[in-house]
Amino acid sequence: MKRVLNGKVFLAMLVIASMLLCASLAYILVLRPAAAPLNPSSATAALTIIPAPTSTPRPLPPTLTPIPPTPTVSPTPAPGEIAVGVYVQISNTGEEGLNIRAEPGLSSEVLFSGLDAEAFKVTDGPVDADGYTWWRLTASYDETRTGWAAQDYLTVIPPP
């Protein structure tokens, strides 16, 4: 046997469901506790602010007080004497020039030839090698022109 839901029964079920829904809402609204007014002095924060992390301070390294270097008093060369800081010119080569070498000594590589009357500043020396006294020379007009020369072909000149 087949049962058919007639319209009156369906309508009655719909009315009852609506009444139950309305009663539930009324019950919730009426019986719900009222919100207490907020008292600022008794209110507790819902959010706690945490400060951002900071780096751990490191102690500074101890400061070293520089000790000024002890000035070295180099004896002033006698007039005409070759020493570091003195200016010299190439001479007595018979217009052949003077070989300027990479290191002191006759077997060292020749870097270039200096011409008679060419001026240089003495920057290092003396070094004795192969029967000569060698001085490191640097041209004041071109610092790439530097090397070692034998003292026998150098004459002291006044600074430019």
What residues make up the domain containing 114? 87-157
- Flag whether 92 is in a domain: yes
Provide the pLDDT for residue 37: 61
* Nearest by Cα to 86 from 151, 16, 1: 151
- Which one has a higher pLDDT value, 19 or 58? 19
Residue 149 has pLDDT above 90, yes or no: yes
Judged on CB neighbours under 10 Å (0-12, 13-18, 19+), 45 is exposed
Split at pLDDT 50, 70, 90, the class of 8 is confident
Residue 20 has pLDDT above 80, yes or no: yes
- Flag whether 68 is in a domain: no
Residues 6+ apart with CB under 8 A from 82: 88, 122, 125, 126, 135, 151, 154, 156
- Flag whether 77 is in a domain: no
Residue 128 has pLDDT above 80, yes or no: yes
Q: What is the pLDDT of residues 69-119, one digit of tens each?
A: 766 555 566 677 899 999 999 998 888 889 999 999 999 999 999 999 899
CA distances to 9, 18, 73, 124, 130 from 137, rounded to whole Å, are 124, 114, 22, 7, 18
Provide the pLDDT for residue 121: 94
Q: What is the pLDDT of residues 33-65, one digit of tens each?
A: 666 666 666 656 567 777 877 777 777 777 767
Q: How many CB atoms lie within 10 A of CB 122?
A: 22
Provide the pLDDT for residue 1: 52
Provide the pLDDT for residue 148: 95
Residue 141 has pLDDT above 90, yes or no: no
What CATH number corresponds to the domain at position 139?
2.30.30.40
Q: How many independent structural domains does the chain possess?
A: 1
- Flag whether 91 is in a domain: yes
Residue 120 has pLDDT above 80, yes or no: yes
3-class SS letters over the chain: CCCCCCHHHHHHHHHHHHHHHHHHHHHHHHHCCCCCCCCCCCCCCCCCCCCCCCCCCCCCCCCCCCCCCCCCCCCCCCCCCCCCCCEEEECCCCCCCEEEECCCCCCCCEEEEECCCCEEEEEEEEEEECCEEEEEEEECCEEEEEEEEEHHHEEEECCC
Provide the pLDDT for residue 38: 60
